[in-house]
A = this chain, B = another copy of it.
């Protein structure tokens, strides 16, 4: 049979990729609960906030709540439902996150999606050396790959801790690396006032402005985790306040593990998640009305035999989609995640991530955090998982490219021309479309078994190893203005001199 020939890669370098493009969801989100049930969860969360309240450990945060009409007794802050709904009115449904390269600016909200790389793990792993402490040099390699992978829209807050750098100044080196190695949008750290302000200062330098100038340009996204159940601790409260005060975006993300830090029932875990998220969202609007903010859903369950957290479970998937419904109910853009508890880059890692991705993408998430690279329940960033996830994200992006239905694509004439028993390989209808008709895989192998064995029987995790090394080898650094680079160096030098940020 005549074959259509080798397909041209779509970018320079030997790895075929579609160009950088934000993904838009063309299909209706999956509703896993009814509108009445959404309302019941929302109302129960409002009862939790008004009858029980949040324990807020940071006195200035309590003062802000109190000034806005909350009832404060000791550490406890109670919010009445009218106050919550009044504050929700100022939350923007859509906004834009600016990137150093304006072509990489990101639309947040509506049907638009952002895929962010893994952020926050303590460890790194690859096939060659297993799991280990990370180094600055390896972290920079990981950032280069995040820049190179067009399917990733945002860097997720540094893939792992560079443990060879001192803890009090490490964040400064990380921010500089994020800015230099990427021209994409990047996530910042929000653990305490000093780290948060360093991120804001350095983002301002990168954007050629000042922290004051950044106020009207959302540029940084930071994750605020409540300390479930029902607590907001001092470092997170400081981060939230500094970010909101400077017009920057936080995603309020309770870590509600059903059966451990939240009720064992998914409905109950969602009530608690929703209450904690509402409290954080309200605080952002008290600090700065109309500042962009996101609703984070991270409800999963534990293994009741061992207490171990589980991810990408059926309960996780349902909770993600219900969280999307809750976020839409209050009109706040929604953050979900791509998660797995698997220990190896194997079938479990893939199916748990798939369950998470379908939960997130068909749950109407606007930000998929940890979309690529997350392993070991979030304790480890993996080089091979980065590639595996990039493949799965690319497939989802192609799935979100709707079927074209037109006279030409319906192909009645092509079917007539080929006729019964014929083949379409060499037909004009095929030849005009073969280069772009289908998703080109980054990682999948479609050889028949005999060919696959002849080529060495290479498994998916080994192919992923080859892909990231090749991609790193072909990496091209984004350009940066020398003056900006020098200003960043000067800022870092000064802050290192000052001793960096206090340890929490």
Contact = CB atoms under 8 A, between A and B. Distances in A.
A346 interface: yes
Given A346-B459, A446-B308, A409 B265 contact: yes
A434 B351 contact: no
Contacts of A271: 410-412, 415
Contact of A314 (B314, B349, B398): B398
A102 interface: no
Contact of A347 (B346, B404, B452): B346
Contact of A52 (B41, B416, B459, B464): B416
Contacts of A227: 421
A100 interface: no
A157 interface: no
Nearest to A376: B449
Given A30-B27, A409-B265, A438 B313 contact: yes
Nearest to A375: B449
A322 B403 contact: yes
Q: Residue among A267, A275, A310, A345 with the most chain B CB within 10 A?
A: A267
B308 A420 contact: no
B267 A406 contact: yes
A268 B423 contact: no
Contacts of A241: none
Given A229-B422, A437-B259, A317 B399 contact: yes
A7 interface: yes
A444 B32 contact: no
A312 to B, nearest CB: 9
A434 to B, nearest CB: 5
Contacts of A423: 229, 260-261
Contacts of A352: 444
A235 to B, nearest CB: 16
A430 to B, nearest CB: 5
A41 B403 CA distance: 11
A433 B259 CA distance: 9
A403 B266 contact: yes
A267 B350 CA distance: 29
A404 B265 contact: yes
A429 interface: yes
Contacts of A446: 303, 306, 308-310, 341
A377 B260 CA distance: 42
B461 A314 contact: no
> How many chain copies?
2
A284 B341 CA distance: 49
Given A41-B410, A444-B348, A461-B347, A7 B304 contact: yes
Nearest to A343: B452
B31 A460 contact: no
A402 interface: yes
Contacts of A268: 409-411, 414-415, 429
Given A348-B444, A354-B351, A424-B260, A399 B314 contact: yes
A129 interface: no
A301 B430 CA distance: 12
A308 B448 contact: yes
A429 B272 CA distance: 14
B349 A420 contact: no
Interface in A53-72: 54-55
A395 B313 contact: yes
A434 B345 CA distance: 30
A53 B383 CA distance: 53
Contact of A410 (B44, B317, B318): B44
Interface in A376-422: 376-377, 379-380, 388, 391-392, 395-399, 401-406, 408-412, 414-416, 418-422
Given A354-B351, A358-B358, A421 B263 contact: no
Contacts of A89: none
A344 interface: yes
B410 A267 contact: yes
Contacts of A350: 346-351, 354
Closest 4 pairs between A and B when the two form their complex, measured CB to CB: A268-B411, A314-B398, A55-B420, A350-B350
Given A315-B439, A348-B460, 9 more contacts: A1-B260, A28-B30, A265-B408, A266-B409, A314-B396, A342-B445, A344-B457, A350-B351, A376-B449
Interface of A: 1, 3-7, 26-28, 30-33, 37, 40-41, 44, 47-48, 51-52, 54-55, 76, 131, 227, 229-231, 258-268, 270-272, 275, 301, 303-310, 313-315, 317-319, 322, 341-355, 358, 362, 376-377, 379-380, 388, 391-392, 395-399, 401-406, 408-412, 414-416, 418-425, 429-430, 433-435, 437-439, 443-449, 452-453, 457, 459-461, 464
